[in-house]
Amino acid sequence: MATLAPSPIHVRPFDAPLGADIEGVDLQRLDDAGFAAIKQAWLARKVLRLRGQDIDDDALADFSRRFGNLDRSPISTTGKLYQPTRPEVLVISNIIVDGVAIGGLGNGESIWHTDMSYNPVPPDASVLYGIEVPEGHGDTWFCDMEAALAALPEALRQRIATLSCLHDSTRNSAGELRAGFKESYAPEDQPGAVHPLIRTHPETGRKSLFLGRRRNAHVVGLPLAESQALLDELWSYAGRPEFTWVQKWRQGDVVIWDNRCVMHRRDEFDQGLRRLMHRTQIQGSKPF
């Protein structure tokens, strides 16, 4: 009797500069050939979505680990892990049980950011799994930062070619202070990591604009006013509709993005709704 061939994998690019649906994959039974197809599509499209998955934290971590070692989840507002037994799995949720948030980011807007770019070695990728999602609410937007860089006028691109920027580590993308940080710092004492404003993708060789997050950012070596003006100008290219794709969540969606060339943000949603996602982050290398 013939053995059943695995179902073919389809890559369906979205009508946007980035993103694609991967069809024909069950993450509970992904073989090496299937993973190779996913990896290739991911490098080409920067964000992938796999719908209809039904996985636990082990399967989420196993799939994520095929891309590389996992990083620990970021520092929360309380300093506590949401899942003490699973430091590599971050809970993102607005759900409150007995007065305690079971996850991070709440229900507010999460502003444009690159995950954990305030670390000297930010993760290459994040994998976000929608366990309980209010459909039509809390959409997540992705911006192609290679396209943003390509849109810069040549003089501006040349001006930033050798400049670096401080990525603030004190607050999360929802604006909340992380445990262990003060409310404010003098600009020269702002905690975070310094990275080049133009970043080269280590696997594809392509360059992208690397901004991280706007709050408390500072271009190294520039006076404050000049730094602010330059960052405002650069940020005016990020998030332009023509560079973005929006993920409208359904339960069972797994979305993986390339943190080296994509930024993301999330719309706020009503606190009366319940939203629960689990995320992993894949260890990266020092940006150059």
Q: Minimum Å distance from CB 32 to Mn ion? A: 29
Residue 115 interacts with ligand OGA (CB under 6 A)? yes
Q: What is the DSSP string of 69-135?
A: PBPPPPP-SSS--SSTT-TT-EEEE--EETTEESSEETTS-EEEE-TTTTSSS--SEEEEEEEE--T
71 binds Mn ion (CB under 5 A): no
Site string for ligand OGA, 94-113 (x = CB under 6 A): -----------x----x---
Q: Is 279 helix (H, G, I), strand (E, B) or coil?
A: strand
Count of residues making up the chain: 288
Site membership for Mn ion, residue 253 (CB under 5 A): no
Which residue lies nearer to ligand OGA by CB, 37 or 282? 282
Q: CB-based contacts of 251: which residues, under 8 Å, 6+ apart? A: 130, 131, 132, 133
Calpha distance 137→266 (Å, rounded): 10
Number of residues that bind ligand OGA (CB under 6 A): 12
Q: What are phi and psi of 242, to 5 degrees?
A: -70, -10
Binding to Mn ion (CB under 5 A) within 106-145 occurs at 115
Q: How crowded is residue 29: how many other Cβ atoms within 10 Å of its Cβ?
A: 9
Does 73 sit near ligand OGA (CB under 6 A)? no
CB of 157 to Mn ion, least distance (A): 26
Residues 125 to 144 in contact with ligand OGA, rule: CB under 6 A = 126, 128, 140
Among 38, 92, 147, 198, binds ligand OGA (CB under 6 A): 92
Q: What does DSSP say about strands 90-93 and 104-105: parallel, antiparallel, or unpaired?
A: parallel
Nearer to Mn ion, 92 or 197 (CB): 92
Tokens matching residue 166: 């401080």
Q: Which residues bind ligand OGA (CB under 6 A)?
A: 92, 105, 110, 115, 126, 128, 140, 173, 264, 266, 277, 279
Q: Which residues bind Mn ion (CB under 5 A)?
A: 115
